[in-house]
Amino acid sequence: MGEGKFLLELSSIQAKKDALDPKRVLSEDFKAIKGLKRQIESMEAMLEGEKELRASRMKSIAALEAEMGGKEQYLRQGETRLYESKGHSLRELLGIQQAIVAAEADLRAGEDTYLSLLNELEGMGKEREKTEAASKELKKTYNQKVRDFKLKKRDLELQIKALEAGEESIRKELSEKTLNLYDSVLKRVGQAPVATVWKQTCQGCHIGISDQQIRKIQFGERLYCCENCERILIMPE
């Protein structure tokens, strides 16, 4: 038939194209980029949560400041009453003094809470700085990886384009009928659709072929496909 050589060439170009397929070649890079993106997103979410928590702590601190101001004033008033006491009975004076002691203890407790809130805020600030620095690093790595990925993809696509140009010129050597068969087998098999026969075995799936079919392939007027893997079978010249 004479078309065997061209079919084999076409099939071998297909195998080369498959080997260059960016989806396959770059799948690890793609996964790494997706992983980085997820990490960056989770850091952004963390920073967002921290921002809300910080705002609520600031509110608590402001409320506590106002409350302590009021308590301080109450304490001063009590002290004034105690120092300027005229005409109070001893019992009343003791009562004022006890109220002052209680107000002082209350104020100290408020101060403790205030200080611990400030400490917490400071700790949060340090954590935030760390997260922000890590997020910045990750973004840098991410951008670099995306750039590399695009370059690699373009390079693969250029190589595939060059192979396709070769493919076009070989297709011109084949009849329409043969091309239709080639294309339909390629679609079904999903990879290089032509196999040679070697030692009575299909070199696509390595399953033996009957004598009868070997004779058909050798002397037949048309192309035959492997009964097992469906590839077009060609006798090596």
Segment near Zn ion (CB under 5 A); pick from 15-23, 84-92, 139-147, 194-202? 194-202
Lookup result for tokens 């396959």 = 24
Map residues 101-120 to x or -, x wherever contact with Zn ion holds by CB under 5 A.
Answer: --------------------
CB of residue 35 vs Zn ion: minimum separation in angstroms? 39
The DSSP output letter for 222 is S
Count of positions on this chain that bind Zn ion (CB under 5 A): 6
Crossing angle of helices 90-171/27-83, nearest 10°? 170
CB of residue 230 vs Zn ion: minimum separation in angstroms? 7
Q: Residue 192 burial (CB < 10 Å; 0-12/13-18/19+)? A: buried
Map residues 44-83 to x or -, x wherever contact with Zn ion holds by CB under 5 A.
Answer: ----------------------------------------
CA 210 to chain centre: 51
214 touching Zn ion, by CB under 5 A: no
Cβ-based nearer residue to Zn ion, 26 or 189: 189
CB of residue 231 vs Zn ion: minimum separation in angstroms? 5
Residues 215-234 contacting Zn ion, CB under 5 A:
226, 228-229
Q: Rg of the chain over CA atoms, in angstroms? A: 41
**Quick one: which of 96, 179, 205, 214 contacts Zn ion (CB under 5 A)?**
205
**Quick one: which of 103, 181, 202, 225 contacts Zn ion (CB under 5 A)?**
202
CB of residue 139 vs Zn ion: minimum separation in angstroms? 50
Where residue 90 falls (left for φ over 0; alpha for ψ -120 to 50; beta otherwise) is: alpha
Cβ-based nearer residue to Zn ion, 156 or 226: 226
Cβ-based nearer residue to Zn ion, 39 or 203: 203
CB of residue 175 vs Zn ion: minimum separation in angstroms? 23
How many angstroms separate the CA atoms of 76 and 78, rounded? 5
For residue 52, report the phi and psi dihedrals to the nearest 5 degrees. Answer: -65, -45
* Of 99, 111, 103, 97, residue with least CA distance to 71: 103
* Of 221, 225, 218, 235, residue with least CA distance to 186: 225
* Of 135, 235, 148, residue with least CA distance to 195: 235
Cβ-based nearer residue to Zn ion, 163 or 229: 229
Residues in contact with Zn ion by the rule CB under 5 A:
202, 204-205, 226, 228-229
